[in-house]
């Protein structure tokens, strides 16, 4: 097999060491005689896998003890509804900071349960920036404030935590979780689909402050009630066991890399190299305002859009995969999550320079 670098936005590449370990343990986990896929979720083997994953995650993210960690199904999209169902707690409105297409989907779903106040809205700027906090219209009576710290499609990232006073802050961290240290104690709820920076699709991670569980909107299904899952250690029903196991291997790998501080340095360097290559050339450009450019998803365009197809064909030939931009924005997008080696970014930058010199 030729060496390839997969720049897919999700499902995305996993660390090679994780895939190798999973392969070695595939048919017989730890002399159990079983694959993890075949184990009872209530058996002692899987319980140890599950407990270990949570313990290492708590360690690397420094999750305070008054937060519950849930390993659930349904992806991040299910949380678009679960968040209002669990967090409205008798209130009738919630604030949303809208900086991209995923946030828009969260707003659409929340609108079915409450009044949504768009406290910030970057849609008129084609989601290329974060509106300045002075322009936000936060409501001190809102049930919560929801935002998307990294918008995967537009490539817009908050490099700071919004100050929302005492109102619980809720974050869809699907494409930024584990990319750097974050102050978990500033959040009411953090949720993420696994397929970007955690592990295989099919798993969603929810980190919820204990005092925010237990009071749900009438009619909330048991499966969408955080309390159900907190009371049952995420085993109210059958959890996505294999994805949970692989997530645990990813957490082990992150700890071996030196944890989130160490991976953040690598991520910053990778992003800097790519943006520098884009900014130094008149041939490539980034649509995103410089102070909100994502470390994880880097959309860029080629000056002459008719060269897109040739660019993509060339990258594929060079083993640089999945660089086509999202269908809603076009151009290119390089997703450079934790598992993308720095060498992959270097190879892409080299390709970009070569392509420019033969087509610019």
Ligand X SMILES: *Cc1c(COP(=O)(O)O)cnc(C)c1O
**Which residue lies nearer to ligand X by CB, 152 or 243?**
152
Largest CA distance in the chain: 63
Within 8 A by CB and 6+ apart from 212, the residues are 86, 87, 89, 168, 188, 189, 226
To the nearest whole angstrom, how small is the minimum distance from the Cβ of residue 83 to ligand X?
12
104 is a catalytic site residue:
no
Catalytic residue among 29, 95, 102, 121: 102
- How would you classify residue 330: left for phi > 0, otherwise alpha for psi between -120 and 50, otherwise beta? left
Catalytic annotation, pick one of 104, 196, 270, 324? 196
Which lies closer to ligand X via its Cβ, residue 121 or residue 172? Answer: 172
Whether 28 sits among the annotated catalytic residues: the reply is no
Are 14 and 339 spatial neighbours (Cβ–Cβ below 8 Å)?
yes
Q: Which residues pair with 300 in a beta bridge?
A: 332
Position among 174, 220, 335, 338 found at the interface with ligand X (CB under 6 A) = 174
Give the list of residues 6+ apart from residue 173 with CB closer than 8 angstroms, or none.
149, 150, 182, 190, 191, 192
DSSP characters over 108-169: HHHTTTSEEEEEEE-GGGTT-SPPPGGG----TT-S-EEE-SEETTTTEE-SS----TTSPE
C-beta closer to ligand X: residue 72 or 348: 72
Active site residue 244: no
Minimum Å gap between C-beta 59 and ligand X is 25
Q: Does 257 bind ligand X (CB under 6 A)?
A: no
Q: Considering only CA atoms, give the Rg of the chain.
A: 21
Residue 360 tokens, joined: 């610019």
Q: Which stretch binds ligand X (CB under 6 A): 32-40, 127-135, 168-176, 224-232?
A: 168-176
Q: Residue 51: which residues within 8 A CB-CB, separation 6 or more?
A: none
Pick one of 39, 61, 69, 76: the residue that binds ligand X (CB under 6 A).
Answer: 76
- Coil, strand or helix at 197: coil
List the one residue from 15, 75, 162, 299 that touches ligand X (CB under 6 A).
Answer: 75
Binding to ligand X by residue 295, rule CB under 6 A?
no
What residues are paired with 333 via a beta bridge?
A: 299
Which residue stretch of 51-59, 72-80, 126-134, 312-320 sits at the interface with ligand X (rule: CB under 6 A)?
A: 72-80
Note whether 193 binds ligand X by CB under 6 A: yes
- The yes or no reply on residue 152 touching ligand X (CB under 6 A) is yes
Nearer to ligand X, 39 or 205 (CB): 205
What contacts 308, CB < 8 A, 6 or more positions away? 302, 330, 331, 332
Residue 77 touching ligand X (CB under 6 A): yes
- Catalytic one among 172, 253, 270, 324? 172
Q: In the complex, what is the shortest distance from the CB of residue 66 to ligand X, in angstroms, rounded to a whole number?
A: 26
Binding region for ligand X (CB under 6 A):
10, 75-77, 102, 148, 152, 172, 174-175, 193, 196
Annotated catalytic sites, by residue?
102, 172, 196
């Amino acid at each position: 097999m030729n060496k390839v670098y997969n720049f897919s936005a999700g499902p995305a590449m996993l660390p090679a060491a994780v895939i190798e370990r999973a392969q070695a343990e595939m048919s017989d986990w730890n002399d159990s005689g079983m694959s993890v896929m075949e184990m009872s979720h209530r058996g002692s083997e899987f319980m140890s896998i599950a407990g270990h994953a949570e313990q290492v995650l708590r360690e690397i993210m420094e999750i305070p003890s008054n937060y519950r960690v849930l390993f659930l199904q349904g992806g991040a999209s299910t949380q678009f509804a679960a968040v209002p169902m669990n967090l409205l707690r008798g209130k009738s409105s919630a604030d949303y900071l809208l900086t991209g297409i995923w946030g828009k989907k969260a707003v659409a779903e929340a609108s079915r349960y409450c009044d949504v106040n768009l406290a910030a809205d970057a849609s008129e700027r084609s989601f290329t920036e974060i509106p300045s906090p002075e322009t936000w219209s936060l409501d001190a009576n809102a049930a919560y404030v929801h935002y998307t710290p990294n918008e995967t499609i537009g490539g817009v990232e908050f490099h700071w935590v919004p100050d929302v006073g005492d109102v619980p802050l809720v974050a869809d961290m699907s494409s930024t979780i584990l990319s750097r240290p974050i102050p978990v104690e500033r959040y009411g709820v953090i949720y993420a689909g696994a397929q970007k920076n955690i592990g295989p699709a099919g798993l969603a991670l929810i980190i919820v402050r204990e005092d925010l569980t237990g009071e749900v909107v009438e009619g909330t299904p048991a499966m969408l009630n955080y309390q159900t899952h907190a009371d049952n250690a995420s085993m109210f029903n059958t959890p996505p066991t294999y994805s949970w196991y692989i997530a645990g291997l990813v957490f082990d790998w992150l700890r071996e890399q030196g944890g989130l501080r160490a991976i953040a340095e690598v991520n910053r360097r990778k992003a800097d190299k790519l943006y520098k290559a884009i900014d130094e050339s008149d041939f490539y450009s980034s649509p995103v305002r410089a102070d909100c450019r994502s470390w994880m998803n880097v959309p860029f365009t080629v000056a002459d859009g008719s060269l897109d197809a040739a660019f993509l064909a060339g990258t594929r030939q060079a083993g640089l995969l999945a660089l086509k931009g999202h269908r809603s924005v076009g151009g290119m997008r390089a997703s450079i999550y934790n598992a993308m080696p720095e060498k992959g970014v270097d190879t892409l930058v080299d390709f970009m320079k070569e392509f420019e010199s033969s087509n610019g």
